[in-house]
Amino acid sequence: MNKALAATLVAITLLTGCGPKELTPEQKQEIAALKTELSQTESQISEAKEVARQLSGGLIKNLTAARLEILETNKALLEQRINAIESGAKIDVVVTSLKPDPELASSIKTEIDNLNVQINKARADASQYSGGLVQALKLSTVATQEQSMAMLQQKYLTAKYGLVESKLKAEPENIAKNSSESETPAPHTQPLLPPAEGPFGLETALSQKNIEDMIGTKLKPLEGSVNLYTSEKLPKPNSDFEIYGLLISPKAGLCEIRAIGKNIDTDSYGLALQSKFEDLSNSLTSLYGSPKTADFLLSGSIWKDPQDLDDGIK
């Protein structure tokens, strides 16, 4: 009986020797700060997951997913440091520790505070709209800023606590490239923005990127022209047209839409062509108002008789 008791006491002694060591006041203070950061990060993760749950797809969901990836990495890094200080337990995310940089952390914290102000203003701005393209653009701005915030927070944790910044698959600049500037995009992808209310689902001042996000494909620069792009599809295409020309100023955005119709078989008087033109003109007038029509011969043209239309358009 005594031998059994002695063996039990030895086992208890050995086990307690493997437990957490007494922490220094500095370590306790650091853990408290890390747990505060962890709580805030978990709250942000829950918020981002709720936003993602309400979205079916598009640019905002992609940005939110990228933000979630960053936040989850931040959480893992914080948990790793807490576990390492408290018990030396094995960590799932393997990184190398860096020396904290308080000066850099302070600088990044200033950037975070400034970005927080911008995000709050952007959210307030977006809340003034109930839907449509304008609100989608405003919300995409908020999502982009929130993703940038997650990246800044990771840099802050790296600088303040010496955590190593991980290399993520989707950084903010890569998101922009994937959505509009990639040199080898998929020919047609799911549109990221809804159509606008103007002609063909567009409106004045839209940027090239806005339009590409709305149609799910790249616009093609027209060779020999300045700021003129072509596309075979628009957010709200018209079956009577087969290609569109878009004049997009780098500063002012979309200035002009040119729609090129399909070939129409007609006689030398052009009756079928004129009839189709009138039908199309009436249809567009009912939607967008009276147009300015240009129907004239160039000075010196030899095609001036009614039956010359077929020859004149060759």
For residue 98, what pLDDT band results from cuts at 50, 70 and 90? Answer: low
Tokens for 5, please give them: 């008791």
Better-predicted residue by pLDDT, 150 or 97? 150
Q: What are phi and psi of 228, to 5 degrees?
A: -110, 125
Where are the extended beta strands (E) located within 223-305?
228-231, 241-249, 253-261
Query: Is residue 10 scored above 60 in pLDDT?
Result: no
Of all residues in the chain, the percent with pLDDT exceeding 70 is 74
Cα–Cα distance between 9 and 254 in angstroms, integer?
A: 82
Sign of CA dihedral 69, 72, 78, 84: negative
Q: In residues, how long is the chain?
A: 314
Q: Where are the alpha helices (DSSP H) in 162-261?
A: 172-176, 208-215
Is the pTM here over 0.85, yes or no?
no
Tokens 């709250």 belong to 43
Please tell me the predicted confidence (pLDDT) of residue 49: 93
How high is the mean pLDDT of the chain? 75
Per domain, the residue ranges of the chain are: 26-181, 206-262, 264-314
Please tell me the predicted confidence (pLDDT) of residue 89: 45
Q: Per residue in 128-176, pLDDT tens?
A: 888 777 777 788 888 888 988 988 888 888 888 877 544 433 344 444 4
Neighbours of 138 (CB within 10 A): 18
Among 87-96, 121-130, 158-167, whose mean pLDDT is lowest? Answer: 87-96
